[in-house]
């Protein structure tokens, strides 16, 4: 069921087909930024992610087939065929050798990034919501939803083990109200597992013992996504309570809040500038009931320090579900409910933009 990455059937070279990339002008803050429109999915996008080197972009949607694209020009390199349900999350390892996909078909699969072949299948008891490689590229952790009698679980696997059974399972017990985990990430040096919940809480688990080390309420409503910066010193949350919050990843101290007027589905920290990119929109089911301005679902740019919005990029025809920024800071991708991934290469005016830093006690000229 796999297509090697070299197959022309899945490539975007044939721009006449539905699965193609095309450029479309979008007016950014200054001048025009032309994005590549990546047309490879037939259902809403759930996640977009760059690899560590930033030359590949992975995307997944509710159509069960993740894709990989070249980030430089938006060419589709291939697909990973085999899942039978929505892909909720994916993660590529440090050396772009293996890709993990978490799916609603209650499995997590490991693929070869080069050939598109499914190397291992890890069965779960319920739909798998999130997956994350550990920094050793040997272990990975998943979160799965509760199903019938089984509680929600955090599972840790070792890819070098002969068995596809987890080496550790951590139960997320049912409280007064059923709470599901929405995201999972390893903290620096695999010290802890950081898990966000749909009741607005964030939990820190010890991956060795499975006990909760810390728990705090970050938002009033569901946390949709939690993302670290590259060196794992900061992380940002996106929530249905219309805010996104920046935290210190070491002491879990709340640093900044970015407020909007609609649910935030994803947010990402820029590696090269002190900027935050936010994406969201009203919930998919209420989109048709609101005034239908063309492509008004925008990526919002906030200043990391001042919490001020200074620009936006429009273009999507549905709420933005996923955002990723290239580690080199040269481009970013957004995926939305409309099934399109838009790959934006920043223009010169943005890259050259100087961030205003007011200096304290500046000497006045006439003194």
Intra-chain end-to-end CA distance of the chain, in Å? 76
Strand order from edge to edge, sheet including 243-248: 223-228, 234-239, 243-248, 254-259
Q: For 247, which DSSP code?
A: E
What's the rounded Cα separation, in Å, for the pair 23 and 33?
Answer: 10
Q: What is the pLDDT of residue 286?
A: 65
Q: How many CA atoms lie within 13 A of 39 on its CB side?
A: 13
* Cα(43)–Cα(321) distance, integer angstroms: 12
Q: Is 286 left (phi over 0), alpha (psi -120 to 50) or beta?
A: alpha
- Answering whether pTM is above 0.75, one says yes
- Per-residue pLDDT of the chain (367 residues), as tens digits, is 444 443 333 333 333 334 555 544 444 444 567 899 999 999 999 999 999 999 999 999 999 999 999 999 999 999 999 999 999 999 999 999 999 999 999 999 999 999 999 999 999 999 999 999 999 999 999 999 988 888 899 999 999 998 999 999 999 887 767 788 999 999 999 999 999 999 999 999 999 999 999 999 999 999 999 999 999 999 999 999 999 999 999 999 999 999 999 999 999 999 999 999 999 887 666 655 555 455 568 999 999 999 999 999 988 889 999 999 999 999 999 999 999 999 999 998 888 888 766 655 555 554 4
Sign of CA dihedral 283, 287, 288, 290: positive
Could you tell me whether strands 98-103 and 87-92 are parallel, antiparallel, or unpaired per DSSP bridges? antiparallel
Residues 343 and 333 sit within 8 Å (Cβ to Cβ):
yes
CA distance 103 to 65: 10
How many C-beta atoms surround the C-beta of residue 164 within 10 A? 14
pLDDT reported for residue 147: 86
d(CA 163, CA 158): 9
DSSP-based helix, strand, coil % in the chain, nearest 5:
5, 45, 50
Residue-level pLDDT at 53: 95
Closest C-alpha to 281, from 230, 240, 323, 236: 240
Q: How many CB atoms lie within 10 A of CB 53?
A: 14
Distance in angstroms (rounded) separating the CA atoms of residues 6 and 163 = 31
Annotate 28-82 with DSSP letters as a single string: -SSSEE-EEEE---SS-EEEEEE-TTSSEEEEEETTS--EEEETTT--EEEE---
Three-state SS at 212: strand
Q: Is the dihedral of CA 326, 59, 200, 316 positive or negative?
A: positive
């Amino acid at each position: 069921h796999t297509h090697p990455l070299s197959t022309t059937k899945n490539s975007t070279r044939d721009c006449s087909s539905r699965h193609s990339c095309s450029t479309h002008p979008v007016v950014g803050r200054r001048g025009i930024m032309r994005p590549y429109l990546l047309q490879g999915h037939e259902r809403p996008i759930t996640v977009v992610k760059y690899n560590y080197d930033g030359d590949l972009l992975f995307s997944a949607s509710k159509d069960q087939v993740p894709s990989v694209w070249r980030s430089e020009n938006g060419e589709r390199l291939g697909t990973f065929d085999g899942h039978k349900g929505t892909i909720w999350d994916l993660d590529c390892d440090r050396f772009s050798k293996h890709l993990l996909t978490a799916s609603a078909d209650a499995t997590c699969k490991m693929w070869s990034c080069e050939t598109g072949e499914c190397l291992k299948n890890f069965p779960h008891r319920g739909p798998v919501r999130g997956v994350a490689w550990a920094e050793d590229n040997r272990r990975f952790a998943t979160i799965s939803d509760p199903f019938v009698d089984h509680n929600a679980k955090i599972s840790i696997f070792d890819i070098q083990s002969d068995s596809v059974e987890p080496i550790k399972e951590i139960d997320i017990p049912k409280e007064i109200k059923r709470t599901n985990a929405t995201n999972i990430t390893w903290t620096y040096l695999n010290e802890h597992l950081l898990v966000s919940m749909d009741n607005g809480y964030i939990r820190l688990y010890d991956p060795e013992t499975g006990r909760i080390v810390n728990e705090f309420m970050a938002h009033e409503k569901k946390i949709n996504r939690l993302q670290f910066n590259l060196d794992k010193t900061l992380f940002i949350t996106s929530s249905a309570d219309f805010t996104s919050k920046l935290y210190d990843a070491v002491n879990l101290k709340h640093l900044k809040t970015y407020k909007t007027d609609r649910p935030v589905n994803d947010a990402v920290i820029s590696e090269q500038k002190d900027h935050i990119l936010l994406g969201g929109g009203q919930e998919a089911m209420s989109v048709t009931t609101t005034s239908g301005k063309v492509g008004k679902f925008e990526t919002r740019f906030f200043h990391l320090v001042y919490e001020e919005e200074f620009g936006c990029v429009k273009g999507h025809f549905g709420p933005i579900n996923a955002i990723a920024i290239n580690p080199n800071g040269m481009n970013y991708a957004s995926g939305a409910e409309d099934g399109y991934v838009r790959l934006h290469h920043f223009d010169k005016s943005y890259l050259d933009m100087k961030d205003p830093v007011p200096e304290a006690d500046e000497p006045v000229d006439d003194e």
